Structure 1
Amino acid sequence: MTDHQALRRRQDLPRARGRGFAWVAPLLLLAGITTVDLNTTERFRIISWIVLVPGIAAAICGVWTTAFFSVLAVTLYVVVDHAWPKQYQAGLPDFILVAFAGVLAVLACAVRLKSERRMLHMRDIAETTLRTVLRPLPPGWAGLDHAAVYLAADTEARVGGDFYDIQPGPHGTRVLVGDVQGKGLGAVETAAALLGTFREAGYHETDLATVADRLETRMLRHRGHTAALGRGDGDRFATGLLLGFLPGRTDVVELVNFGHEPPLAVGPRGVRSLPPDHGLPLGMGELETGGGPPPTLTVALDPEETLLITTDGVTEARNGDGEFFELTAEVSRASTTDPAALVAHVRDGVLRHSRGRVSDDTTIFAVRPTPTDGQKERQRRRGGQPGP
């Protein structure tokens, strides 16, 4: 849908059977003022109130509709006012008021529509940026069941520094979830730079450690570029989790942790946390003992386990009493291992805990190897519920 189509739809709201009826409100007001003025005594003349009609039209209708109501208001004012004896007529001053209000209403409507076009254009840019950073992932992409929810702390910007992606390749499927330090366009730019490197390195590189090293190098190069531009975010860093699912293997996952909260493995036997982070965030690799990226861990996965990864918008969500959100406890009550249902459960819990207001960009990401037919049958019998 183009900006102009979206704007036209907004102008027509509310709608019934595809037809806009925003014009009904000023029309009813016009009819009401006219009827009351004609059916009351000379002591209650309200025809001058018809000046409100073009203003209402300017707020909810298009320019031509507003112009129509402006002309109609002036015409009805003249007709109704002259229906009274001369001594009770409002006369020329109120006529000028109604006519002048109509002109102003048309101009105000034009300004409103121009502002809405600009707003819709900016929203389109934000949505394009969001699709670039958080590109849509097809269901079952690369042999993985996955689901994700992203909640921007800035509801107007709609995109922040959280990022995630799945990249299939000849050496397995790689997954990256991360959180860039800070907010604003600088954080979005950094996330886009890291994702671009991940999509190439994740496909071509044989070892997950090499992918991790490429990400660290990209972060340092990006910081050097921003510093050369004289920007104040030259020391930006990013936490992240890099996962590697090996070809033909559903019982293990490779993991490189860049200072991120460890994933939760949710399975039929309950919830467990994977090994804690062993590395520093991206951009701080030179501080790592011995240099280089964090170590690559190989972690065993039980059948049907789902990995749940969240950014700090989840773990740092607070309620009215300042209490943090208890992620593990909430996941234990989920009664499901399905990625989509699990993500929805955590999202609802975070919003309920924080009363719908997230203070930081929030990403909830769940992934698992696509279950075999036998595993799907066991899940169906069990209703997707973890065992004791």
Structure 2
Amino acid sequence: MSTVGRGQLLRLRGRSVAWLPPLLLLAAITVVDFNTGGEFRMISWVVLVPGIAAAICGVRATAVFAALSLVTYFLADSAWPGRYQSGLPDFVLVAVGGVLAVLACAVRVRGERAMLHMRDVADTTRRTVLRPLPPVWGGLEHAEVYLAADSEARVGGDFYDIQPGLHGTRVLVGDVQGKGLGAVEAAAALLGTFREAGYHEPDLATVAERLETRMHRHDIHVTALGRDDGDRFATAVLLNFPAVDTGVVEAMVFGHEPPLVVGESGVRPLLAGDGLPLGLAGLASEGPPRVHLVRVAPGETLLLTSDGVTEARDGTGAFYVLAEEVARAVAADPRTVEPERLVTVVRDGTLRHCGGRLADDTTVFAVRRVNRPARKGRLQS
């Protein structure tokens, strides 16, 4: 496994040149030493060479520079008359410096390998929770951007997926309350249930019931383990694009930001959120939220975001005004309604507004049917 320093810091035409700086430094010290007076010896500075190599080269290269420095010191020092020679003390200094540089390089390389391993683990976890999706999946064209507030973790409590099934294509976008691995665990549990129920269940309301039950069971399990994060909940938006395109989309909102419908004519909310988050159904006196049937015209894109977008603040504390920003972008360029362009506009606008300082995980998800003639369908609020 190549190290980060050797593999990334210094490359020329695809090849590592990390060895070049310590080599040039060694040559420069030697030349300066031979061109200065005998009272001012530069050769002792050669101890810096293995130290520089330890920072940017591998262990073998650092050992080579440590040995080369020691040999260079001995030859250069011996070339001077006896009264100008540094002698044994500086020789020992160069030798000890070389050994310490090799040890420091070994520690650095081990740390880099551990970091790369942890990054691979985080990437694998992310692909497991947020599985990669084809650009067109289940008759839907989509694009998404996910930015974890913890850049090292690379995954958090936001989740999304598209599940083609026997009764249409279902879409789920949500955000688990809290942060850390517990939120990732809850998100993975909900997505696993969604992928099964979304495929098999004929009614969207049944899919929602399965998700509510899964959230409740997950909390019970976590509490039984003695953990203090057993009261989590998740906001979510659940959509169904029926197998037969009637121009109507089924939608349920669980305490989440309602989706926006983005078209060349403007931006409008898909519907008002009327349900409690998943995991809190027991607090609702009116039962679960209704399944809304909403009309979406051909070419219109549904934009779903997490609160990392809507709660992004600038230096004055002002929130990012998503709908207005998207409307301005569409007015300036109607092609912004395309999912790929739309998520890019929202991502860039959010990062620009908050100065790149994300306070929460941020998800931007855009989806629309692949363009084809729509059949007339009924619509109800």
How many angstroms apart in 2 are the aligned matches of 1:43 and 1:315?
Answer: 69
Residue in 1 that maps onto 2:377: none
What letter is aligned with 1:347? R
Query: For residue 380 of structure 1, what is the aligned residue in structure 2?
Result: none
1:269 to 265, 282, 286: 265
Aligned to 1:360: 360
The correspondence for 1:68, drawn from 64, 68, 77, is: 64
Shift of 1:339: 0.4
The residue that corresponds to 2:216 in the other structure is 220
Give the distance between the partners of 1:8 and 1:138, measured in 2 at CA: 32
Q: Whole-Å Cα distance in 2 between the matches of residues 273 and 103 of structure 1?
A: 66
> 1:372 deviation in Å?
2.7
Q: Does 1:193 align with 2:189?
A: yes
Q: Deviations over 1:163-190 (max 9, x none)?
A: 0000001100000000000000000000
CA distance in 1, matches of 2:199, 2:299: 26
Is this contact kept in 1: 2:298–2:369, CA < 8 A? no
Distance 1:62 1:294 in 2: 60
CA–CA distance in structure 2, aligned partners of residues 140 and 313 of structure 1: 26
**Unpaired stretches in structure 2, ≥5 consecutive residues:** 331-335, 375-381
CA distance in 2, matches of 1:268, 1:303: 11
Q: CA deviation at 1:45?
A: 1.1
Residue 135 of structure 1 is matched in structure 2 by: 131
The alpha-carbon deviation at position 43 of structure 1 amounts to 2.9
Please report how far the alpha carbon of residue 16 of structure 1 lies from its aligned counterpart in structure 2 after TM superposition. 2.2
Which one of 302, 309, 324 corresponds to residue 304 of structure 2?
Answer: 309
Moved more, 215-224 or 325-334: 325-334
* Post-superposition CA distance 1:52-98 (Å, at most 9, x none): 00011011111110000000000000000111111111111110000
Q: CA deviation at 1:8?
A: 4.4
Residue number in structure 1 paired with 2:17: 21
How high is the TM-score relative to the length of structure 2? 0.95
Number of residues of Structure 1 aligned to a counterpart in Structure 2:
368
Residue in 2 that maps onto 1:385: none
- Cα–Cα, structure 1 residues 373 and 52, in superposed 2: closer, same or farther, change >3 Å? farther
Hey, what's the Cα distance between the residues in 1 that align with 2:46 and 2:4? 27
1:39 aligns with 2:32: no
8 Å contact from structure 1 (residues 12, 61) kept in 2: no
1:340-359 matches, cutoff 5 A: 340-359=340-359
RMSD: 1.2
Partner Cα separation in structure 2 for residue 316 and residue 83 of structure 1: 70
| Superposed displacement of residue 213, structure 1 | 0.2
Shift of residue 10, structure 1, vs aligned partner: 4.5
Partner of 2:379: none
Tell me the equivalent position of 2:323. 328
- Does structure 1 residue 319 correspond to structure 2 residue 314? yes
Measured in 2, the distance between the counterparts of 1:127 and 1:10 equals 21
1:193 partner SS: helix
Cα shift at 1:17: 3.1
Change (3 A) 1:305 1:251: same
Give the whole-Å Cα distance in 2 for the aligned partners of 1:39 and 1:10: 33
Contact 1:12 1:21 in 2 (8 A): no
Q: Could you tell me how far apart the structure 2 residues matched to 1:149 and 1:282 are?
A: 23
Q: Which secondary structure does the structure 2 equivalent of 1:160 belong to?
A: coil
1:340 and 1:116 mapped to 2: Cα distance? 34
Cα distance in structure 1, aligned partners of 2:313 and 2:119:
29
Partner of 2:171: 175
Aligned residues of 2:3 and 2:112 also touching (Cα < 8 A): no
2:289 to 274, 294, 307: 294
**Per-residue deviation, 1:250:** 5.0
* Structure 2 counterpart of 1:119, one-letter code: M
Distance 2:91 2:121 in 1: 45
How far apart are residue 9 of structure 1 and its match?
A: 6.3
Whether the 8 Å contact between 2:298 and 2:372 is mirrored in structure 1 is no
Cα deviation, 1:111-144, whole Å, max 9, x if unaligned, reads 1111111111110000001001111110111110
Task: Please give the alpha-carbon distance, in whole angstroms, between the structure 2 residues aligned to 1:157 and 1:8.
Answer: 20
Give per-residue Cα distances to partners, 1:290-323, cap 9 Å, x unaligned. Answer: 43x3211111112211000000000110111111
Tell me the secondary structure at the aligned position of residue 314 of structure 1.
helix
* 1:250–1:99 Cα change, 3 Å: farther
Q: Look up the SS of the partner of 1:182 in the other structure.
A: coil
Asked whether the equivalents of residues 223 and 229 of structure 2 are also in contact (C-alpha less than 8 Å), the reply is yes
Superposed, which structure 2 residues align to 1:248-267 within 5 Å? Answer: 248-249=244-245, 251-267=247-263
Query: Match for 1:368: what amino acid?
Result: R
Paired with 1:12 and 1:222, the residues of 2 have a C-alpha distance of 43
- Could you tell me how far 1:356 is from its partner in structure 2? 1.0
Q: Which amino acid aligns with 2:188?
A: A
**1:369 equivalent in structure 2:** 369
Letter in 1 for 2:230: G
Residue 30 of structure 1 corresponds to: 26
Secondary structure of the equivalent of 1:150?
A: strand
Q: Distance in 1 between matches of 2:105 and 2:229?
A: 41
Shift of 1:46: 1.0
